[in-house]
Structure formats: C-alpha cells, structure tokens
Amino acid sequence: MPDIEVTSTCKEGYTTTSAIGDRELTVDATNENGPTPNEVLVADYASCFIPAFRVGANKQGFEDIGQVEVAAQGTLDEEDDLESISFELRVESALGESVQDIVERAEDICHIHAALRKELRADVTVTDDADL
C-alpha cells in the first residue's frame, strides 16, 4: 500500500485539480486558474524546508527560533524548466555561528531537498535576528 495517494484530474485545458486526502490543490500550467507546476514545486520545497530548518535549530540547542520566512525564487530556462532555486530565510531569533550547521541539517531532513536533482537544490541564505 502506498504512503501517499493523490488523484489528479484535468477535465479540459491545462488546469489540474489534485485531491490529496480531503484537500484539493489546483495547478494551472497557464497560470490563469492557479499557480503553475513550477511555482507549486518551489512553494512545496520552501514549505518543507522551514520545518526541517526548525528541527535543525532544535538539534543545535535552540528551543524556539520564532517566526521563519522564506523568500523563494526559481529561475526558468528557455523551455520553462526550473534551472535554479534559491531561498533567503529570515529568522526571528539570533542563531549566530550555528546557521550553517542548521542549514546542513535542514538539507538532510527536508524530503523535497532529497528528491530534487543536485543542480536544482536550493541555494540557501539566512538572515537571523530579523525583525518580523
């Protein structure tokens, strides 16, 4: 039995609705009725990276790092394929010299990071002690 079950349906055009449990996600390749698949991938990656970053911080001794915000960017090539992804994290708490260790742990923990080809993995920068 699979761990994840998704049913995706496209009745016409380029809009697909995916049923994930009792939730729905609408994705549109033309960006008219929802975000594009590439936009969803970048958002999913960022949404996976944040909790992984929190766990990494916790393992470095930070009990609560406060609010975390990711400005995620994706660059497309001429064929509209993702060429690169970058994250700029802003973290409410001061993490000091532990930042790089936390990022490395987050990369090890994040399932989306593990699933992407190495060239497409996010280039991550962090601004800690941010006024959020």
pLDDT of residue 123: 87
Q: Residue 122: pLDDT band by 50, 70, 90 thresholds? A: confident
> Token pair of 25, please?
């996600």
17 exposed, middle or buried (CB, 10 Å; 0-12, 13-18, 19+)?
Answer: middle
**CA atoms within 13 Å, Cβ hemisphere of 1:** 0
Residue 69 belongs to domain spanning: 37-127
Q: Do 73 and 47 fall into the same domain?
A: yes
Q: Which of 11, 41, 8 is nearest to 25 (CA)?
A: 8
Q: Do 43 and 54 fall into the same domain?
A: yes
pLDDT digits (tens, 9 = 90+) for 9-63: 999 999 999 999 999 999 999 999 999 999 999 999 999 999 999 999 999 999 9
Helices (DSSP H) in the chain: which residue ranges?
Answer: 37-59, 99-109, 111-115
Q: Do 87 and 45 fall into the same domain?
A: yes
pLDDT of residue 132: 79
